[in-house]
Structure formats: structure tokens, C-alpha cells
Structure 1
Amino acid sequence: MYRQSVSRADPGCVVILLDRSDSMKLSWARTNSTLADGAALAVNNILLDMCIKATAEVNAPVRPYFDVGVFSYGARLLTPGEGVESAFGGPLAGRGLVPLPELAEHPMTVRTEPSIDLMAVSAKMPVWVDPVHGYRTPMCEAIALVGGHVFDWAAAHPNSFPPIVINITDGMVTDSPHEGATLQDWVKRMTSIETNDGPTLFFNVFLSPAESAEIVFPADPSGLPQPGPDLFALSSDLPQPMIDNARVDGYDVRPGARGLAFNVGRSTLLKVLQIGTRVPDRPV
């Protein structure tokens, strides 16, 4: 499992779930930005990173190696069933999964953004997602909606690397149960969706305004403060290609490691997103 490379014929699928609840307005520890600012910056960086890595050379077309979606939850006080929406702005507003070449061609804007690395200078970059904070945290509804997109995509791409869903959140779920099912039930339903290469992967990244130690890819929930143990239980085992990626990046990944990053800072958030979206590829 989890060995299929991505290509034009067999693209991958990456979905980012972005918490936009009210608490995302809080300041991110050790930075001068809010959690919403930092999360949006990291998402825009990883989208740009994916576009660049799917380009053979400067000014060459972006290859259709991935279909990508970014969905937000909690940004607006909507009626039940409407609390989740596409986070894309501009020409892609309202879109679900978007082929990587189309994503590259249609950012919302290009503007000077601070570096994800606080020691580096700001630079102009494409922006697909703005920082937003709003109301509650309808995580169940978000996973239910994304599960539908993942199901349709997996059915259309049975030979591809399984879909990767990365949930960036700072809080506890506020809508469990949703339609009679708990958060655990919704995650189990989504991760039961498979391609021939394995089940859908679900990873979690927890952001906090508190200054505390970063915990990346733990193999044991003991010692994790809430909601760490709950997020650990929901997170998929890290597949071997991503374990290899993490070790190359300097992380001491133990057997049984889960796709969970807890209390991470801005630069670690981007590294985790890179590891979670870096799958085998072949340039054909």
C-alpha cells in the first residue's frame, strides 16, 4: 500500500481542511500574527510549492499531478448543512477539487506576503486563500462534505495514490454528533474510502496560541494535552514513504507514528504540509 507514484495518468488528491472558527483570531505564539494569518500563509505556500514541484523547468506548464481542494469550516454563522465551504477566492471561488494546472493559473491575487520563515524577507507570491476567522467549529460537517468529494475522486481514479486529507485546527469540534454520527464515525467513513493502493489518509495539525513544545508525528498519545489524544486517535498511521520523507527532514519517527503535528509553529507547519503532500512521482 501507499506505493503508487503520481503522474498525468494517475494523479494524486490533496484536500486541506481549514478551521476558520472564532478562536483563529488569537495570536500565534512566538509570532506577530494570528492563527488565521499563519494558517493561510502556510496553505498558500504549500499550494505554490506543489505547483513548482509539478513544473519541469522555469516557465514550463504545470503538470496535472494533483487535484487539490481547500475547504473551510466555521467562517460564517450558517444554517446546519451550510457551515462548510470552499476556501478558494477569486476565479476559483466556490470550487471543490481543482486540477493543479488550473490552480496555478487562477490565484485570487499576487501580493507581498511575509516569509513563513520569520528570519527571511517578504516576497511576492500568489494567494489562493485569505486569513479568516468566524464562529464555531463544525468539523463533522466538514469531514462529511469532503468525504463526498473524496469518494467521487477515488471512484474516478482507482489506480492512484489514495486521497490525502489534512485538517488544520485550533479547537474542539462543536457539532459532534452530526446527522446522528460522531466525529469518529465521520472520520472512519472517510478513511474507509480506498483506491487500489490503500485507504484515504487523514492527518491533523493542531495550532495553539500557547507557547509549548512542538510534537510532530508521535507514536504514542501519552503526554499529549487535550485535544491531542483525541486527534491522535483520529489520525492515520504515517505510511512508509512519508516516514522516509520525515526522517530525511530530521524528524525522529518511531514505529506506529501517526500523521499528527501538535502545537506547531509556522515553519514546522509548512514542513508538515510538505511531508504530508510529498508522494512518489514519475515525470511522465
Structure 2
Amino acid sequence: MDGRFGNASHSKSVELANAINDVIYEVGLRCIGSGGELKNRFELAILGYGKDGDKVQSGWEGQLTNKWVVSINDIFEYPLGQENDKPIWIKPYAQSATPMTKAFENARRLCQDWINWGNHRDCHPPIVINITDGEATDAGRDFNLLKKEAEQLQMLSTNYGPVSILNIHISSATGDRVLFPNDTPEVQDKFAQLLFDISTPLNENMIRIAQQKGYNIHDRAKGYVFNGNATDLINFLNIGTPQ
């Protein structure tokens, strides 16, 4: 994540942190009611891997350190600081390995616990957005361990539908991009094929948002981007966030 992000002026880790902070801020703005109150409509978890060897940890810091799923109210109550007159919550890191299987296992446990708590079975199902610039280092032979975790995650659901899994592979290259394909992408990359396979189709709302942002996609398009640039990254996060 320390390499340049295509033609962007910053590293991939910096661009990613900026994009996530922007999306969190936009999510919070959507939750402000007519009276100016912040309605608790979202709960977010951010998982980071590679910062500390092969461990997976919560991406929240400051007052939210060691918390996993956090309400939008608490998120806005405890930002790390401000940049460009907006709150920030996430700092960029680019270190060590890519234990993606452990990250998916952790995401599965968090989603399962969340669904089974309170009235969450009557809520919008969780959306898992995986952002990576490299191949998983703990996926097992033929990626069988990672595939198994993704399959178990896809089996979780609320009364409003199953969990969504979206994957974006960001790159330092400026080559051809694959954006929300319906069919297997024509790229000679085993890991790209894996991420396509474990991505779920975009729902109607996601397709509508993607089309509004200029993407030429249709029904059954998958939540998958290969070799995406900085603009694709921020669009991808917005497409994956319920409006």
C-alpha cells in the first residue's frame, strides 16, 4: 500500500484513508434529521490487516480503540481530528503481510453477531467491502481457505436479504480496468479471478448509484473492480454504502 496509486499524487494507503474518511463523513451527513439531530441509522466496522504481522485488528483509533462495530453517533462523537475542515477517523498504514482469510473470518463473525443481536434481522443486511492491493498470504492451496470463509459469509442474511461482498483490487499500474463485470474478467491473474468469484452481484440500489456515476453496468453485475484508480475507489465506496 506504499506504492503510488496509478496517476494519483499520493500513495495507495493515503488515498484509501482519504476515501474512507470522506465516505464516513458522507454517511453521517445522510443521518442528519430535519431538526439537525444525528439519527443512529448506521453501524460501521473497519478491519485492518498487515499493520502488526499477520494479525487482523480494528481500524478505529483514539477513543474508539479496540471497538469493532461502532454506531454512527459514536463515530461522529470521537473523531481523531480534522483535515480540510472535516473530521477524520482513519490513518494510512502500509506494512507487512496480507492475512485476508483472517480478515474475512473476522468479518463473518462480526456480521453473524450483529445479525443475531436485537432487531437486526429486520434491518438492511451487512455489506462487506474488501479493498486490497495484493494477494492474500493465508488463503491456502488454490485459495481454498479464503473461498470457504467467503462462502460462509455469503450464507448469512437478514429478513431483507443476504450479506453483500464487494471487492476492489487497487493497483500502481495504469493498465486496463475491469469495472463491475457480469462475466469472468479477461485478465491473466489467479487472484483477480478469485476476487471476482467471491464477489456478490450488486443489488438494484447499487446498480442505480453506479449508473448515476457513469458506469455502464446492468443486472447481475458483480461488486468487483480490478486495477481501479483513485476515482473508482471513492465511487466504489459510495456504491457499496446504502443511500
Using structure 2 for the length normalisation, give the TM-score. 0.93
Letter in 1 for 2:31: A
User: In the alignment, what sits opposite 2:26?
Assistant: 49
Corresponding position: 1:39 with 2:3: no
Comparing 180-189 with 97-106, greater Cα deviation is found at 180-189
Count residues in correspondence: 239
Letter in 1 for 2:217: V
Contact between 2:207 and 2:219, CA under 8 Å: does it hold in 1?
A: no
User: In the alignment, what sits opposite 1:145?
Assistant: 106
* Structure (1/2) with the larger helix percentage: 2
Corresponding position: 1:102 with 2:65: no
Report the 3-state secondary structure (helix = DSSP H, G, I; strand = E; otherwise coil) of the residue aligned with 2:131: strand
User: In the alignment, what sits opposite 2:200?
Assistant: 236
User: In the alignment, what sits opposite 2:165?
Assistant: 202
Aligned-pair Cα RMSD in Å: 1.7
Structure 2 gaps of 5+ residues are none
| Deviations 1:158-209, CA, capped at 9 Å, x for gaps | 111110000010011110239x961000001111111011111110011100
Runs ≥4 in structure 1, deviation > 4 angstroms? none
Identical aligned residues as a percent:
27
CA distance in 1, matches of 2:107, 2:218: 30
Report the 3-state secondary structure (helix = DSSP H, G, I; strand = E; otherwise coil) of the residue aligned with 1:37: helix
Structure 1 gaps of 5+ residues are 1-23, 112-122, 280-284
Report the 3-state secondary structure (helix = DSSP H, G, I; strand = E; otherwise coil) of the residue aligned with 2:38: coil
Letter in 2 for 1:29: G
Residue 212 of structure 1 and its aligned partner are, at CA, apart by 1.6
The counterpart of 1:154, out of the listed 115, 122, 126, is 115
Corresponding position: 1:267 with 2:231: yes
| Deviations 1:77-134, CA, capped at 9 Å, x for gaps | 25xxxx00011111111110001111111111112xxxxxxxxxxx222111100011
| Deviations 1:53-86, CA, capped at 9 Å, x for gaps | 11135x82221111101110111125xxxx0001
Residue 225 of structure 1 and its aligned partner are, at CA, apart by 4.1
CA distance in 1, matches of 2:95, 2:222: 29
Letter in 1 for 2:229: G
CA distance in 2, matches of 1:32, 1:249: 23
Distance 1:162 1:174, change over 3 A: same
Residue 44 of structure 1 and its aligned partner are, at CA, apart by 0.5
Corresponding position: 1:131 with 2:92: yes
Report the 3-state secondary structure (helix = DSSP H, G, I; strand = E; otherwise coil) of the residue aligned with 1:52: helix
User: In the alignment, what sits opposite 2:40?
Assistant: 64
| Deviations 1:203-222, CA, capped at 9 Å, x for gaps | 00111001123322111123
Say which structure, 1 or 2, has more relative contact order (CA 8 Å, 6+ apart). 1
